[in-house]
Amino acid sequence: MATTDGDGLFVDTNVLVYANVAEAPFHQAALDAISQASDRGCRLWISRQVIREYLAVMTRPQTFASLSRELVLDQVRAFGGHFNIADDSADVTHHLLALLAVHPVGGKRIHDANIVATMLAWNIPKLLTHNVEDFACFNEIVHVDSLE
């Protein structure tokens, strides 16, 4: 499995949404955080899960924007040029099961645990998210950077 050089930053779905919708709350903060990380030479990562979540969020009604389906699909097609994409794999599942054996999360929180499992499988040390509290139980495993 490919790994990063240890200076990778995983971008959570909420940050990706904020960065791609000018009317979204925290739009400028998301753009600045991504741009600053890139300027520092940090490898930016998303996963197939984040792509699916982005599509789910952006194809339902939003309070802050309504982008055409065609534009959303074009955005997703362009992500590969801006981000490294971590694929789901047996290694990700292995890490997910190991995390769940230690951390009592369930339901929707499985998605958060899977992000951490993906980060572990791909050796991505940092996460950029607006939902810091969702990852609090994983603070000893990965470094969580707040968008705010």
38-83 pLDDT, tens digit each: 999 999 999 999 999 999 999 887 776 678 889 999 999 999 999 9
- Residue 95 forms part of a structural domain: yes
Residue with tokens 């791609």: 20
Give mean pLDDT, residues 105-110: 94
The set of residues, in sequence order, having a beta carbon less than 8 Å from that of 77 and lying 6+ positions away, is none
Ramachandran class of 25: left when φ > 0, alpha when ψ lies in -120 to 50, beta otherwise: beta
Residue 5 binned pLDDT confidence (cut-offs 50, 70, 90): very low
* pLDDT given for residue 25 in this prediction: 86
pLDDT, one tens digit per residue, over 73-85 is 999 999 999 999 9
Tell me if 94 is assigned to some domain: yes
The answer to whether the predicted template modeling score (pTM) of the entire model surpasses 0.75 is yes
Instruction: For residues 110 and 137, give the distance between their C-alpha atoms in angstroms, rounded to a whole number.
Output: 12
Residue 62 placed within a domain? yes
- Classify residue 114: in a domain, yes or no: yes
String of DSSP letters for 22-77? TTSTTHHHHHHHHHHHHHTTPEEEEEHHHHHHHHHHHTS--SS----HHHHHHHHH
What is the span of the domain harbouring residue 118? 8-146
CA 13, CA 144: separation in Å to the nearest integer?
14
Amino acid at 82: H
**Residues 139, 133: Cα–Cα separation, whole Å:** 10
Domain count, the chain: 1
Distance of CA 54 to the CA centre of its chain: 9
Q: Is 27 within a domain?
A: yes
- In whole angstroms, what is the distance from residue 103 CA to residue 138 CA? 8
> What is the rounded CA–CA span in Å between residue 99 and residue 31?
31
**CATH classification of the domain holding 122:** 3.40.50.1010
Q: Is residue 124 part of a domain?
A: yes
Domain membership of residue 85 (yes or no) is yes
Residue 89 belongs to some domain of the structure: yes
